[in-house]
Structure formats: structure tokens, C-alpha cells
Amino acid sequence: MKKSDSHILTTHVGSLPRGERLTDLLIEDEAGSTIDRTALTAEIDRRVAYVMQKQREAGVDVGNDGEQGRVGFQTYIPQRMTGFGGESKRPAPPEFTEFPLFAARLQARIPRTGKVFGAPQAVGPVKYEDISLTQAEIERAKRHAAEQKPPFTETFMTAPSPGIIATTMLNAYYDSHEAYVNALAREMHREYRAVVDSGLLLQIDAPDLAMERVFLFQDKSDAEYVKVVETHVAAINLALEGIPRDRVRLHICWGNWEGPHVHDIALEPLLPVLYQAKVGGLSIEMANPRHQHEVAALARHKLPGEFVLLPGVIDSTSNFVEHPEVVAERIERAVAAVGDRERVIASSDCGFGTFAGWEWVSEDVVWAKFRACRQGADIASARLWGKGGARA
């Protein structure tokens, strides 16, 4: 994993808006409608080329394919693995009942989306029998990344953690939650390995390590939930066996929706467990109003030397475009907490297209936010390295 050795690098969490036509095709495909497969493939290819070009124009250093071919960041898995069927009954967070006016407005803002709720469940042994779709996705990403001038510093590809798959596609087969998570870990190893072996950087999306406190485990205490997180991190490590940690970064968040978030667990009790993950980078929300103070926890629990921090310095749920000076200040606070400017890469809080149709930020604003991130990173670089630290 490249570090910010001469200036602050910028990246993002992965998912990007898919455009209206691709969104419709992906949702229809997930619903089982008959669609033109050739048209779907062509539209995915066109959108990957487009979002990569927009990332480079905005100055993103470490870019990706925007998850354009996936209906959801984790709900695409039943399209690639066997063992799923039926429908999961996933509980809603308590804030959806405590704030009914908010809940109604949120639903009105996303009238059509992929299966955020009601995804299939595990009804038999989960098995990754064919990784051809993953290999095609990798080939497409590499092909379009090679066309970018100037090139990305690195290109990454996302994949969900075993824990977020297990807490979204619920268990109706295995004897225990732990057995199910570990079974998923053994199968996801194939996808993780394929990404890393291709030369791409792997990002594991693991909102289960913070967000699930208010979903599946909302009735547990914080201490009990931390124990669950330990199980999920152990599953990630199982899935990463034999994969170099410096080719993997791990994304943790509290859920990518604009809402109260009043029941979110704090970062501090989670950090000792997160540090057990055998990865090289931690991507953590630090830009939105509920969690931007969390950077202070990193000052109290120092980031181990083998980790890079990817702090969120732009919010993924608001159409405000952050002022570059605000971005620079957030970067500088993260550097102060880590104590090493080279181990900080500026990022977004979460994805901008977590599911097809689940988009809070307009696509044109997304690119403006990426430009603001680049400008803020240049300001911070000039302060941290001196004038020569900014990009040429």
C-alpha cells in the first residue's frame, strides 16, 4: 500500500453513483426481471470508464471502479454464491421508530433502490463455486485504470466482510452465528485472493464492526457488542490467511444514511479490537457531525505502526461541498493523532452509491467534493512538508 511519502494522498471508500440507466438495470436484474444482458454489460463498462475519468479529473490518487457492476456493496453476493434463498427479516435501528417523521422522509427520498432490507438469507451451505464474475470485474477495472492519464497511484477494489454479509443475509441454516460467519470467511477468501493476486489493492467493507450495534445487535450492551466485533475481526483474519496485510485496507462505519445516529457506539471501545485485524489500513468516518470528534480516540489509542489511517474528511450524506480549508484542518488533526504524516490518506466517510438508488449526494456534487478533498490535501501537504510538499 502506497503511503503519503511526499504529500497527502487522496482516495474514497468505493461506491459511486451509477447513473439512472445502470441503476434501473441493476435493480431489475436483482428482482429477477428479464433484462438485456449485453446492454447491462455495456452500460457497466461505460460507467466504469466514466467514473474513473471523473476521479482522475478531480485529483483522486487511489481510485476504483465505483462498484458500478454491483447492485449493492454486499447484496451482490447471493448472485455469486450458492446457498441463499428466501428473505431476511432484518431489524430496523431504534431511531427509525423514535423519529417517525425522519423515517418517513428518508423513505420518500429513496423510492426505488436495491434490497437494502429483505435480502435473501442463508438456507444451505454457502459456496463460492464460480468466481468468473469477480475475475471479469477485476479485468474491467484494470483495463480502464490503465487508460487514465496521469495514472492512479494505486487502484483498489472493494469486497464485503464476512460479518456484514452475515448480518444482512441472515442465517437460517448454520448452528450458530459464528459458524455462519466463519463459513463465509472461508468462501470470501477466494474473492479477496483474486483481487490481491491481480495486483489491485483490496478494501474490505465492514460496517458490521460499528453499525451493527444498532441493527442486529441493538439489544446487546456495548461490552457484549465488542465481543461480537472480536468474532467478526477473527473471521476477517481467517479470510485473509496468506494475503499480505499491506495489500488490504479495512473500512469501518456507522451506517451511510443521513439521520440522527444517536445510538451509535463510540469508536474508543472498538479500537483495540480493530487493531487486531491483519490489514494495513483503517478507513474510519471522521467528517460527519456525529463522528468527527472520534479522531481524539486515536490520540489516546495510538495507531500501531503497521497501519495507515484513511480518515473521512468529506461527508458522504450531505450535499455541502466542504471548504478546502476544512478538509485541510481535518487532515492535520488526523496527522496529529497518528503522529506520522506519511501514514494518513485523505478519504470520504463512506461510499456515495452504497446501493443502486441509495444516493444522498448528487453525482455532480460528488465530483466537486473530490476536488475539494484534493485541494484540502494540497493545503495540508504544504503545511506538513513545506511548500514543496504540495503536488507538482
Contact 358, 350 (CB under 8 A): no
pLDDT > 50? residue 351: yes
Contacts of 150 (CB under 8 A, 6+ apart): 56
Identify whether 1 is part of a domain: no
Q: Mean pLDDT over residues 295-302, rounded? A: 96
Contacts of 205 (CB under 8 A, 6+ apart): 13, 14, 73, 74, 158, 159, 160, 161, 164, 251
Q: With bands split at pLDDT 50, 70 and 90, how would you rate the model's confidence at 32?
A: confident
Q: How would you classify the pairing of strands 248-252 and 121-127?
A: unpaired
Rounded distance, CA 277 to CA 343, Å? 17
User: How large is the average pLDDT for residues 42-50?
Assistant: 97
Mean pLDDT of the region 105-119: 83
Q: What are phi and psi of 30, to 5 degrees?
A: -65, -35
**157 vs 162: CA distance, rounded Å:** 16
* pLDDT of 71 above 50: yes
Residue 104 domain-assigned (yes or no): yes
Per-residue pLDDT at 389 exceeds 70: no
List Cβ neighbours of 384 (8 Å cut-off, separation of 6 or more): 8, 332, 335, 341
Is 293 a domain residue? yes
pTM (2 decimals)?
A: 0.96
Task: State the average pLDDT over residues 386-390.
Answer: 66
Among 33-37, 139-143, 165-169, name the one with the lowest average pLDDT. Answer: 33-37
Confidence of residue 390 (pLDDT cuts 50, 70, 90): low
Q: How far apart are the C-alpha atoms of 166 and 126, rounded to whole Å?
A: 11
In-domain check, residue 14:
no
Whether 13 maps to a domain, the answer reads: no
Asked if residue 67 has pLDDT above 90, the reply is yes
Q: Assign residue 92 the CATH number of its domain.
A: 3.20.20.210
Range of the domain at 292: 20-389
Domain count, the chain: 1
Confidence grade of residue 392 (pLDDT, cut at 50, 70, 90)? very low
Q: Report residue 10 as a C-alpha cell.
A: 487522496
The answer to whether residue 3 is domain-embedded is: no
pLDDT value of position 118: 85
On average, the pLDDT of the chain sits at 95
Could you tell me the CA-to-CA distances from 159 to 147, 162, 286 in Å, in that order? 23, 9, 22
